[in-house]
Every structure is written in C-alpha cells, then in structure tokens.
Chains A and B, each alone.
Chain A
Amino acid sequence: MTTFAEAITDGYTQAMEMDKSVICFGLGIDDPKGIFGTTLGLKEKFGEERVFDVPTSENALTGIGIGASLNGIRPVMSHQRLDFFLLAMDQLVNNAAKWHYMFGSQSSVPITIRLIVGRGWGQGPTHSQNLQAWFAHVPGLKVVMPSMAADAKGLLLSSIFDDNPVVFIEHRWLHNLKGDVPAGDYRVPIGKAQRLRKGSDISIVAFSYMTIEALHAIEVLEKQGISCDLIDLRSISPIDWEMIFESVKKTGRLIALDTGPEICSVAGEIVAQVSMECFDVLKQAPQRLALPQFPTPTSLALTKVFYKKAEDIIELAGKMLEKDIDLKSFQRSKDFLHDVPGDWFKGPF
C-alpha cells in the first residue's frame, strides 16, 4: 500500500526516468519537507538542473515554464497552495491556455501545474480555496483532481506527457490516504471517470476529497437500503459525460458533489448537463452539495458549519428517496476534531 503523496513521488520518478526533458520546480521542492513529502529525494536522484527551488515569483515562473515547454521541455511546477498560484493566472490563462489555438496549432504547451488545496487547522480565507471551476472554465486547459493514490500517479504521468497545459489539483487531506499503486509507467487517461460503487437508486458524482466523504456516506446508505452508483470523476476538464449520463439514465437521480463554492461550480455544470441530456429519465430534480458562497472562515467553530460531509450526503439522499435515515449507525472514529482529517494532522500548515 502506498500513500497518495508517495504515489505522486512515484509518478515524478517514473516520468523523469523515462524522459530527460521532464524537469520540476517550485518553492520548497528540494527542502527538507519536500512539498508534503511528494518531492522528497527527487533532487538527489535527478540532479539540481532538473529539480530546483525558485524565487517567490509565481507569475514569471509559470511563463518561464511555458517558454521552456515551447522548446521541448516538459516542466512540472508545484505550488503548496492553490491560493499562491492565483498570482500566475495571467500566464496560465492568457498564454498557456491559448498558445496552441491562437497560433494556428503550430506549437503547444506541455506543462503540468500541481496545486494543493488546504483545509482545516485554520487554513482560512487565503489557504484553502477550491477554485477548480476557474480552471475548468477556461478553454484550452485540462484539469484533473484525483482522489485515489493510483489515480494520483496515473494522472500525473498522463498530465506530464500530455502535450497541453494540465492543472493537477491535490487536496491536502488526501495525501495520507493509502491504496495499491501499480508500478512502472502506469497511466490513467485524462477525461475518464471511474465507477467506484455500483447501484441503482441514485447517482453520486464526486471528485477529489468529496469522493472520500461519498464513500463514507454510501456505506450507511447501502445498509439502509439505498443503492448508490458512485462516479469518481478524476478529471473535471474534460469531464466523462458518457459515464455520468449512463449512470443517471439507470438511476434517474443525481447528487453532484463539489469541494468548492456552489455558484458556477463544477457540480453546477454537471446538474445543468444532466438536466439537458437526461431530462426524460429524471425522477426528480438533480441536486448538488457544495460549499456555501462565502470565503473559508478560520475559526474552528466556523469551519464546523462551513464544510459539507458524509452526513450531509446521507441526509440529502434520504430526503430524495423519502426514507428516514438512522444516522446513529454512522460511526466514524471521532477521537479528533472536525478540522483535521485524522490525528496525524496537527497543522500548522
């Protein structure tokens, strides 16, 4: 079993061994903490020409990555928080996303940008933003948000070797989750979702950390006779519409989950497309569960009501199927507070 974080390191290692043109850089990439452990040992293995720390200059470095990529380099850039990368939206949106299209398909931008989303321990308004919808909204970008360790590796490799800009978003609370990760050059195609649970009553479409909450919820729902189809999107641009539509055509019900604020969210887009494509088979209005339309508060007390969790999914599914759900059977080990994913996490960052 490998952690999500180790799977990322594995993905890097595989890519850099296979192709000398792969380089990686980012703040703290070679420091003792190695970006939450995901880049430990890379500099020792591949040398400081291919693995290097950088000035605090997000926008320029994104452009520099784009420039290098135009001449055959495959840069993998990393940011310890998605929020820090906002300084580089100009290079990403005005250059990376457009280059291939606006110059008549003559050159492309094979860059990968890793962004980590924080949560808990008071990460607050500027260290925990889930802005994946911004990236998914921009034509010309691909956006992936794996939730399982194997997909982290498989999608990282696919992102690095894709000839287009890929935004690779990792939720901090996934880094310690373990799973079986295939060895070698293992790739997960961008744009393909994965069905994690098969069921007939309701389709739950999730990605990133919300997939984990959905798995907890489904355990309870199944026990109470609600059979769920769980689709882990893995990629949010492009989205695997086929798998979603096929599932909803079977169940007639949809809950779309999102880690970000609800207005103009990925979940909102899924609800829209399902409403248009599956209107005839829908047994009731599709639903979404996402964050409230507010910045993340910092206080322990305020984050408690801010985030959506398994209980909310259970409640919503129960309501849709008009079943009284006994939440008492929902037992998660709770010897830690709601603002951490487990007792291994003590912040502070």
Chain B
Amino acid sequence: MKTAKKNTSVFVQMYQLMKKIRITEEAIANRYSQWKMRCPTHLCSGQEAVAAAVGTILRKDDFVVSMHRAHGHYLGKGGNLKKMLAEIHGKAGGCSGGKGGSMHLTDKSVNFMGSTAIVGGTIPIGVGLGLSIKLGKSNQVSVVFLGDGATEEGVFYESVNFAAVKKLPVLFICENNLYSVYSPLSVRQPVGRKISEMVNSIGIESEHGDGNNAGEVYDKIRRAVDAIRKDGLPRFLEFATYRWREHCGPNFDNDIGYRTEEEFESWKRRDPIVLFEEKLLTDKAISKKMIEKIEADIQKEVDEAFDYAASSDFPADADAFDGLYKN
C-alpha cells in the first residue's frame, strides 16, 4: 500500500515532466518560423517518457550525458528551462553562453554534464564519468542517452566493453526510434537484431521495453538504477519509441517519403502522454482538473521562459574570443 501510494505521486511528477517536455518542444516548433532560434534543433515530441522517467528517478548528483536530441533529457534531469531557451536563441544568458546552441546543452547545477552533436560522441564520456564514480567510491550513477544510430559507431562497442570489463556504474539508455535521420534501421542493421540482446552478449545486463508506456519505462529504469547503486555494474536499456517531427527542425515530414503516414499515425495513437494520462485517470492518481492545472502552470512557465529568452541580451562581440582555455 505504501509503495503504491509512493508510486502514485512519483507518477504524477513524471507526468508533469513529460508534459513540460512536450509543451516546450511544441512551443519551439510553433515559434521556429519566426527565425529567432537560429540553430539546428532536434525535437523529441513523442519520446518524452524515457527522459521524464530518468529525470524522476535519478538523484541530482547522478550524471547525465546526451546527444543531439537532448531537450527532453536536459529538462528531465532538472535543467533550467529559461537557460535552455535562451541558449537556443543564442543569448548570453543561455546555458552554454550562446556558444553551443540547441545541440550543445549543459546544466552543471544538476549534473547534466553535456550533450553534443557528433553521433556517439558522449558515450565514452558517460563511461568516464562512471569510472570517476567508481574511483570516488560514491554510489552515483552515470546515465548515457543514445539513439539507435549511435549503436553503429565503433566507439559504442569500445565504451560498452570497457564499462563491462571495468564494472562501472553506467546506465546506457538507447531510445530506438527506428531512424537515423531518414535512414530506416533496415539499411543499417540486420533484420531481426535486438540491440539489447546484442549488448547482453557483450556482457552487460540488458532489457528491452516499450518506450511509450510510461509506467513500464519507469519500472525498468527504476530497477536498473537501484541495481546499479547496489552492485555498481553497468546496465543497458533499449526502449522502442518514435519521433513525431522531422529529424531536425520544426515541421512534420511524413510527406517526403522516407516513412509512411500510417506508421506515423500508428505511433501517434500511442502517444506516451495520452496513454499515461489514461492510466493515471483510471488509477485515480490524477483528476481532469489536476491535468488542466498542470497544463496551465507549465504553459505559463514556458511562456515566461520564452519571454526571458527573447528579451535577454545577445553576448558581446568580445565573448566570441573568450573562454578557449580555463585561466
């Protein structure tokens, strides 16, 4: 009874995070055509469950690294929304001082250590953070977010192997959304491969899950994180999910022909937020009224963050030539 109750409030918290990520991403999409956010931007609408679950479960001192599609991971981990939007607007008050843009986010105050835009680039970084945890003998966890495409880079295998052989407290989370840009899995990996099974045979306990089923996502990540804290061994989770919008940019792109409208619709019918909402309503963990309030509060927060981003200053010219080295 006690755990059920605890789960309920945790689920509401996770639901709020999912909503926050969705509303932020959709607000970016809606405003992108004002041409004020002048950087490549990879939105994660449709993939919110995994980011929100990680954010709900991790402690503030746990580490996260991520990839080009990082807004959700950043916000999930508790990254500052105003600073993220200011960064995407190229402002001095952005989380990377305007140097990085949407593809290079960081919020050191919550140990979101960095997201970068070279596929696979942060996988070994997360493993290195894991090594530092082991050396420091703390029970933190280092989480590495990656896509299905990143599992094709050599550095992925090298990193997973090292985490396994050195027994490092790293949680790899692969969001398998079936595509790398417009290239389907079928031209990149053998038919029938399960990434999680492959990693299992490399020597890391792995599991596969439905990335749009928020409850399942929560349970699997909860168990993995608890286990890592206990035994310090790496874990790998693969979640099936789907990005709704174009690979990079604000639009939908089902019309250009690399995926079908039916496929898109079938995933959209399994909107992780709607599914979770239905579950929480059925379980009476949440009411329609609460949902309305959550939405209104987040909308207000997002609007305020956009106002902050739009009204804050651009960096001074001299900033371009500052910060190359630590003094």
Taking beta carbons and an 8 Å cutoff, which residues of B are in contact with A?
Answer: 32, 35, 38-41, 90-91, 94, 96, 98-104, 116-121, 149-150, 152-155, 180-183, 187-189, 248-250, 256-258, 314-317, 319-321, 324
Contact = CB atoms under 8 A, between A and B. Distances in A.
Given A122-B90, A299-B90, A300-B90, A57 B154 contact: yes
A302 B119 CA distance: 25
Given A121-B40, A122-B40, A126-B118, A298 B100 contact: yes
Contacts of B94: 299
A346 B38 CA distance: 8
Q: Is the interface of B mostly helix, strand, loop or mixed?
A: loop
Given A32-B257, A294-B321, A121 B39 contact: yes
Interface in A180-201: none
Contacts of B321: 292, 294, 305
B90 A53 contact: no
A32 B40 contact: no
Interface residues of A, number: 45
5 contacts: A56-B180, A121-B40, A126-B103, A302-B99, A302-B317
Contacts of A57: 152-154
Contact of B258 (A31, A124, A297, A337): A31
Contacts of B153: 56-58, 87
B317 A122 contact: no
A292 B187 CA distance: 41
Contacts of B258: 31-32
A349 B249 contact: yes
A297 B98 contact: yes
A167 B195 CA distance: 34
Given A56-B153, A292-B321, A299-B99, A122 B118 contact: no
A302 B320 contact: yes
A347 B38 contact: yes
Nearest to A304: B317
Nearest to B180: A56
A273 B35 CA distance: 45
Given A57-B153, A300-B314, A348-B41, A127 B117 contact: yes
A125 interface: yes
Contacts of B41: 348
A237 to B, nearest CB: 25
A60 B154 contact: yes
Contacts of B317: 301-302, 304-305
Contact of A297 (B99, B181, B187): B99
B138 to A, nearest CB: 31
A10 to B, nearest CB: 23
